[in-house]
Amino acid sequence: MKETLYTIGEVSKLVNISIKALRYYDKINLFKPAYVDPDTNYRYYKDSQIHLLDLIKSLKYIGTPLEDMKKVQGLERDEFYAFLTEQENIVKDKIDSLTEIEKIIANAKRGIQRQKQYPQFGEVFFSYEEEIQIIQTKADGIDPKNILNASYSKLKKFAASTEGFRNNGYGAIYPYKSYKHVNEVSYQYLFTPVLTKKQTTLLLPDTEVSKIPEGNYICITYKSLTPNDYFTNLQKLITYIEYHKITVSSDIYESLIHNNYSPHQKEEFIIEMRVLIKDDSQNNLDQ
């Protein structure tokens, strides 16, 4: 029984592959026509070979490079099974990566939404915060007066090697106590939020994974970065805590947040200071 021959245009419509792609498949010996008319140079394909395009389309769908498709065509059953298992693992890795990207985007949105809900700058407020995983490094005598210079170079270098919107910027940790002058403030640790699992496997020397605990915090935010404004707001926070006899249960966590990214606008930052308080402290304050 004589097989039906199809022109390249008919095959294109039949299997939904462009003529250009079929010509290219012929050129690289991936899928060649059964017959080429020597006079017209027209390509013709047999019924029995059309099913071979199913594999090519499937491999293309799962992202197999063209140069690998020819190897796959020659695989035996067990080898093809192993190939599919390998592709399945690749897809799972991509899913994990996309899931992580989704979380990063959601975290960036939460950070922006949180900034929108800040009360007036310079006012003390309460906020419930979820646990935040951080990467920290010893500050080695860094203090608020050099917050924007090389003090963060180690964390910036680390952040540059990883992915994610770092809208929460960088931070510092120092003891909660009464301070008489800004010169008394000395950071113990610098930190940056963990955005991806990959970051925790790429720790630089002298860095470690830690966390900012979940709970109720007393906070203050402001925009200026001058030492005087810094200390004024720190004093407001501490004075409020002492006046209302609030019991704190953590160091002071300080975050430096970028407020814009435009190269045409003056660089602007928001400083947030917060301290974890015991649950009954706010209850007593509300009574």
pLDDT digits (tens, 9 = 90+) for 102-125: 887 887 787 778 777 778 899 999
DSSP string for 231-266:
HHHHHHHHHHHHHTTPPEEEEEEEEEEE----TTS-
Q: So what's the pLDDT on residue 150?
A: 45
10-residue stretch averages of pLDDT, the chain, 287 residues long = 84 93 94 92 91 91 89 93 94 88 80 78 92 86 66 54 55 92 90 76 79 95 83 95 94 83 69 88 56
| Beta sheet of 5-7, edge-to-edge order | 5-7, 43-46, 35-36
187 SS3 class:
coil
CATH code for the part of the protein at 121-286: 3.20.80.10
Q: What is the pTM of this model?
A: 0.67
Structural tokens at position 162: 């990883």
Phi-psi region of 29 (alpha: psi -120 to 50; beta: other; left: phi over 0): left
How much is the pLDDT for 34? 92
Using one digit for the tens of pLDDT, what is the confidence trace for 201-250?
A: 677 778 888 999 999 999 999 987 678 889 999 999 999 999 999 999 99
Question: What architecture (CATH level 2) is domain 5-70?
Answer: Orthogonal Bundle (1.10)
Report the distance separating Cα 170 and Cα 155, nearest Å: 8
Residues 6+ apart with CB under 8 A from 46: 3, 4, 5, 6, 34, 35
d(CA 152, CA 230): 18
CA–CA distance from 219 to each of 39, 91, 237, 255 (Å)? 84, 43, 7, 11
- pLDDT at position 103 is 82
